[in-house]
Structure 1
Amino acid sequence: MEFSALALVAIGLLLAAWTGVAAWMMIAASAKARRAEAARKAARRLGRMVEEAPAVPLTVRADGRIEAPERLAHWLGLDKVPAYLSELSGGEGKGLSPPQLEQLSELVRRTQKTAAPFRMSMTVPGSQRALALRGSLADPQVSPSGAAMVWIFDFTESERELTDLRLEAARARDDFAALVGLIEAAPMPMWFRGDDYRLRLVNGAYVASVGASSADAVVENQIELIEPVDGVSAEQIAVQAASRRMPIERVVSATIDGARRTLRVTDLPLIGAGVAGYAVDIEEMEEQAREFRAFREAQRSMLDQLSVGVAQFDQERRLTFANQPFRRIFSLPHGAVSEHASFEQVLLSARDHGRTPEVRDFPAWRAEHSEWFLSDNTHEEAWPLRDGTHLRIVAQPMPDGGLVLIAEDRTEQLSLSATRDTLLRTRTATFDNLYEALAVFSPGGSLELWNRGFASAWGLDAELLDTHPAAERLLQAIAPNLANPQEAEAIGQVVRSATLDRQRRGGQVVMEDERVLQYAGVPLPDGNGMLTVLDVTDSRKAEDALRERNRALEEADAVMTRFLANMSYEFRTPLTSIAGFAEMLASGLGGELPEQAKGYAQDILTSVERLTEQVENVLDLSQSEAGLMPLSKEKVDLMPFVTQIVHKREQAITDGGLTVNLRRARGLEVQADPRQLRRALSQLFDNAIAYTPRGGSILVMLGREGGLTQIVISDNGPGMAQDELARALDGLRAAPDGKGLERRQGLGIPLARQLIEAHDGTLEIVSKKGEGTTVTVRLP
């Protein structure tokens, strides 16, 4: 039994060992399978990478057999990869050419024997494909039999780029050489600074400008063309340009050939490294600019003195200048020039101030006038404004694209032209409608102007005058029409005196038809002479008649003077006698009279006094109208003078129940005849008393107004209508039958007016029905 147990244990151990070994073998086989699968995957990946690689591997064994992917056959133009290296030349334009194949074979054999690598490039015959070959001895793990490994690269595109680069490089060398030659031949100084900002290259103009012997001397001694400005040297400016990576341009002064010149210097940082520079001589340009500025200022100063408005616009249609007349004409705001207002803004501002014509579509009108800047021709327009102003506008395009706008106010010229035309027409009409016959002769003696009456006055043919004949020919035509043809010479002398001697002369001539013509030569301001002719036939007859009538009037005046003197004596003497006899009867010299007889005597005295006064009025009025009123003027103080007149009528004022208000002013004196002035004022005051009803008032006021002494007599009586006032002023008028006198309204007011006017004064009466009458006397 024990044996059996041991055997079982041994069997169990054996089975366990067998199971372990089987398990181990299974695990090992699985690991190998995994490694083989990984190797296959790696091989496939490496093969794919080789297929996608930019280079194609070519393995050449020692016996000449080759291994390569199908891509190589495609590159070489073969149907498939051959088995041997010698078969790479397929002929008929396929594969390598014999010389290329021979060279490759030689290089491969050398590499197989000596292990020396090689490089080779070729172009596949019949195509543009360029190939680069890199050969070496193959690794023993790749081919242990001493094979050669050749990597073939397709650098067709790289070759093309290299070719282009070679061409560009050659072109760049040529351009650089040309640029160097251009820089050297440039008339302006040019230079180049390296990374250290020191001079490395200068041209001939630079050398000549600094007065150096050669460019090498300039570079060696670092001779700068530009002097330091404000402590900053030219090298420091180049450093600033390089740090900013922007060109720096400045205007400085430098000494060139011993003379100070103005230069525009530019320091230009280059793309690679270094800073280039050049200097342009702008001395002449600056001089021209200074001259241009001086010319422009002088021009603008001159334009400001013109009466014509002038404005300048630049190529951007901005206002650059406007003289004072232009600003005044268009009412421009003060900042229009300084703010460079546009052309459209100027027109809009002018329209707002009513300085443009009235148009229906202003934007279209403004756009149309903006086209002036694009035109090559001068434009001229007339602008009538709504305030009656007429402007002449001239637009002159400038070569630089700007515009000069000229505005001339022609209102006065047009007005003068219209006035001139009117005067010419008026003169013609006046000449043609004058009673005088007129003719104007030039200094040369030819007839220039005449009216219609000239031909008829001398009996001439109008067609002759239309030829503007000379004075001699005209006198020959006039002579036959004269009663005495020899008098034509006197007419010629008058014409010559007016035109050449500039003297006024005249004369008179009798025509053959017994008409009497009076002529005169008058020198005119323009150097011409005018011959005036007047038919005085009727005047001569009227003159003779007037002389006869004047003699008759003188005789009548003498008769009237004698009549007035006789009437004064004849009227006054009976009245004086009647008054004397009545006074003697009243005094009782003829015996004592009864009371009734005394009353009659007193009535006779009163009537005589009244009749004497009326006779005096009639005689004074007659003498005044005849201009025979004698005046003896002296200085009269009005205040006591008028007061005396009022006091003398105190009884009449009291009897009429009137009130008199006398407003007096002291120191009023006039030169007058006291007697005649008293009669005039008394007549006016008596009228006021007579026509003022009981309880009424009379105002008498003395004063001065406008340098004249004024006497006002006003009442609140019934007043007069205008027709009644006219009759009162007339006094006495001739009767309608012409055989006597017609009494209108008494002699007081007409006599007072005649007496006041005899003192060089005036009498004014203002009256209204129901409101009273006011009489104003004004004396110098």
Structure 2
Amino acid sequence: MTAKLQSGGTDDQAPGHAGDSVRLKRLRSWLAAGIALPAVFPAPARAAEDVAKLSLSTLDVVNFAMVIGAVSAAMISAIWLIRERGRTDAENRELRASLADANARAARYQSLIIDRNRRIIIWEGVGVPAEILGTLPPEIGAPDEVEGFLAYSGWLSPTSARALESASEKLRSNAQSFDITLETNTGQVLEAQGRVAGGRAFIRLVALSNLRAELAELRTERDRLLVSVDLLQNMLDIIDMPVWLRDADGQLRWVNEAYAEAVEGESRQDAIDRKLELLGSATRERIRMSVTPERPFLEKVSTVVRGHRRFLEVADVKTAAGQAGLALDVSEIEDVREELKRTLGSHSDMLDQLATPVAIFDREQRLQFFNQAFLKLWDLDTAYLERRPDNGELLEKLRSLGKLPEPHSWRDWKEQVLSVYRSVDTEPQLWHLPDGQTLNVIANAHPLGGATWIFENLTEQVDLEARYNTLVRVQGETIDHLTEGVSVFGPDGKIKLSNTAFRSLWGLTEAETRPGTHIREIANLCQASHDKADGWPLLTSAITGFDEDRSTREGRLELNTGLILDYAVVPLPNAQTMIAFVNVTDSVGAERMLTEKNEALRKADALKNDFVQHVSYELRSPLTNIIGFADLLSTPTIGELNDRQREYVEHIAASSSVLLTIVNDILDLATVDAGIMKLDLDHVEIPELLEEAREQINSRLKESSLQIVIRDEQAPESMVGDHQRLKQILFKLMMNAANFAPEGSVIELECAREDGEVVFRVSDNGPGVPEDMRETLFSRFSTGSQSGRKRGAGLGLSIVESFVGLHHGTVMIENRVKGGATVTCRFPLNPQVSRDAAE
């Protein structure tokens, strides 16, 4: 056992067994104590004898038991420790063998990984730096250090760097694997694979070579071509030109948005699926027969686009794989070309209609165009001009015919005229022709060569200018002899001209009103004659003000000298202003005198009206009493009257009634004259109106055995008017007719509708109206020389005229052919609802 412990002690020196050495030392101490026990405790036999001889205490027994227990525990522990030590040694030997194998395998794997054509990036977890294994070839241009290598944009192309960064982020965050091809800044191709395994994310970058590199390059080139094709298709979708691709069989393979819109397809694919063709079958057949790889189809064709006929410039090319074509809408260009053609034609027609001669020469100085006025001016042969002579030849031709001025040096003059083709700025020239005409010759050089010659005939203008100057002198003489004061001022407020009357009215001298004198100076000189604030300051502001509305102003000035002047400020062309003064002193005096007389007459008329109204109202009350008492005396209950008394009472009642009628008529006229009478307009039933008028006059007509005949077959049902006033009009007319109608005759009352008016006619068979009475027939208190059956106050027809006028109607009287007279009153069918008498 000692030998085993010693050998074990030797093993305890091995690494990893420090805890076992401590336990062994503790066990040795326990065993040393056990060996020393026989020396302390005698053998059992002797112990028994000693027991018999000695008596043991309880404490000794307890100590002995503890020693025995400790020894036993130490022996058990030693046995367990020896067994565990053996098992641990066996496990250690197995672990050492496994570690050696693992190290050998790791070395082999490391040698496989660390290759010059491959590099791996490993991430253990979040926040743990990346570990990089392996190397890439130097021509790749990838840095060796970790920081530089992970900065992809430093050694990869921008597109590849963005793709790798995006794929790495998705790999580490979402465990999304990827396989992509990268391109370095040096043009090398790499293959990148991203995977997640065992909680680790790693990216393997492999440098491709030979076939794989070529395949990767082809893929890269394919991606580049796809991007280019996609960009090209997007660009073709943007342009406003239909583009199409066909396969070898002539079927549509691709179209752009403009093509789909032109054929009214819902989308590009819809146009392809439905085989919607932009060009007609005849055009497509012509393209198919004429287009070859060496010779494309280039023509302008006509087709229908979105329901409208359009002109397209079509280009179609052919290859072994198919055909491609595009179309440019040139309809607007054709329209512009046609419009230009029409414009040039109309321009020529317009120039041909001008009265001003025009000739156009091209850059070679040959005649291109001339109008009829040019032909008429120079009286040349049309055939000669159509041969397009040059400008110099034309001048020589006109000189030979004696139609050009003959200068001192013909050659210099001709050179000066033709210098317009070499000059930038040209000036008009005056040609005085031998026949007395004066021409203003204007030559405009064209930017691209050539010139346009305009021959403006100034002969009439020169004559007009001479006549104008003469007219100005005549007008000056005329203005100087006017009785009205006239002065003309320019837009700067300075006087242009003035006449003698103007200076005489304001007491000015000719030197003080010389042209160029400002209006303020003239106003200061005139202020002594007129010191009111609204005089010359107002005239000055009217001339020197900045009002946009230049209107005529009129007014009146009273001078301190006693003169009264009417002035008028009249705007003239060219922003000039004329001030005219008229001496109205005499007319104003006469006007004031007439005004005073008119005011006196007006007051007298007002006094008359007041008197009439007062007297009329004062008479009505006693008349009413007289009529009342006369009716009371005629009543049998008061008492019987003899025949003479009854006759007197009847005369009193009749005379009082007549007098009351006259007073009422006077009151009505006074009310009309005062302008306070108002009509009670309403819808009047015409049959009812006629019947009431007949009933009102029936009692008056029985005395003369007269009859009333009403004719209302063509009368309207109603009209708008004052019922009481209309009835009063008809009563007055029938009373007037009854006064002149023979006894036993018939008075006709007719009503009809004529031209939107209601017409009332009252006719009698009397003597008619004399011609000398027609003008005064409707005058007040006019009874005429011919009296009727009863002589009245002469107010009946005057009241009729006034009431008809209030209804905006007219009244007239005319003699009948068979004798008698007819009074006609015309009323509007629907006048305004309310109308005041004062109006």
Q: Please, what TM-score do these two structures have when normalized by structure 1?
A: 0.42
